[in-house]
Copies of this chain bind each other. A is one copy, B any other.
């Protein structure tokens, strides 16, 4: 991991931007922001580490995850270019990261100083509102996750995940998993074997067609039905 380069306006503007911060304030944060380059497999921070910086993913892919003592890994979120993360640590009494963060691909991040960001937010209610909107969206996402974990079985979780992907991507019947099946399994709190079997079963039923990371939704009618709790037939 290196953190020598200085970020240019471009670096940030190229992408969806540290989305809570309006145009006028970006200049100031950038003054002390740093570019962080990180290799595949490297860890950006561990759960419990003091959180002095918040991040924007410019390029690459990372996972936020928690580990069970037995080594089981639950992926909390996949970070794609344009994602910001760790903002909530700014407001905690104890500022430390609540999860581990590791690069799944070589990645380039912009690291903002937490104190700088707080200082800026103090002077800009609009920025606060954008951040609050982001927190609200994230809270609702967590609610969806909790519902999935406590009320849905493996098949339903997979189906809902695929529908969500389909919606995020161009909404065509063809979609692509954003990462390896192993990590998708970690995201859905399943073992890789189970995910594999669910895919096999859905393919068996003629509902989807899987080839590597590409998935085609063949029978969107029945596919939707499954979401409402009907059997796989």
- Residues in B whose Cβ lies below 8 Å from that of A132: 90-91, 121, 128, 131-132, 135
B91 close to A129 (CB less than 8 A): yes
Q: Are B88 and A139 in contact (CB under 8 A)?
A: yes
Interface residues on A, range: 35 or more
Report the minimum CB–CB distance from A167 to chain B (whole Å): 15
Mask, A55-78, CB within 8 Å of B = 1, is 000000000001111101010100
* CB of A169 closer than 8 Å to a CB of B: no
Contacts of A147 in B (CB 8 A): 66, 74
- Asked if A180 is at the interface (CB within 8 A of a chain B CB), the reply is no
Report the minimum CB–CB distance from A190 to chain B (whole Å). 9
Smallest CB separation, A89 vs chain B (Å): 8
CB-nearest residue of chain B relative to A143? B98
Cβ–Cβ contact B139 & A135, under 8 A:
yes
Q: Is A146's beta carbon under 8 Å from chain B?
A: yes
Indicate whether A37 reaches chain B with its CB closer than 8 angstroms: no
**Majority secondary structure of chain A interface residues (helix, strand, loop or mixed):** helix
- CB contacts (< 8 Å) of A6 on chain B: these are none
- B-contacting residues, A122-162, CB 8 Å: 122-123, 125, 128-129, 131-133, 135-140, 142-143, 145-147, 149-152
CB distance from A21 to the nearest CB of B (A): 14
When chains A and B are docked, how far (Å) is the Cα of A138 from the Cα of B125? 21
B136 touches A88 (CB 8 A): yes
Minimum Cβ distance to chain B for residue A163 (Å) = 16
- Chain B residue at smallest Cβ distance from A67: B151
Known: A125-B128, A142-B146. 5 other contacts (CB 8 A): A68-B152, A74-B151, A90-B136, A92-B140, A139-B142
Which residues does A use to contact B, with CB under 8 Å? 66-70, 72, 74, 76, 88-92, 98-99, 121-123, 125, 128-129, 131-133, 135-140, 142-143, 145-147, 149-152, 189, 228-229
What are 19 A-B pairs at a CB distance below 8 A?
A66-B143, A69-B228, A72-B151, A74-B150, A74-B151, A88-B135, A91-B135, A92-B133, A98-B140, A122-B129, A123-B125, A128-B128, A132-B132, A135-B135, A135-B136, A135-B139, A138-B139, A142-B145, A149-B189
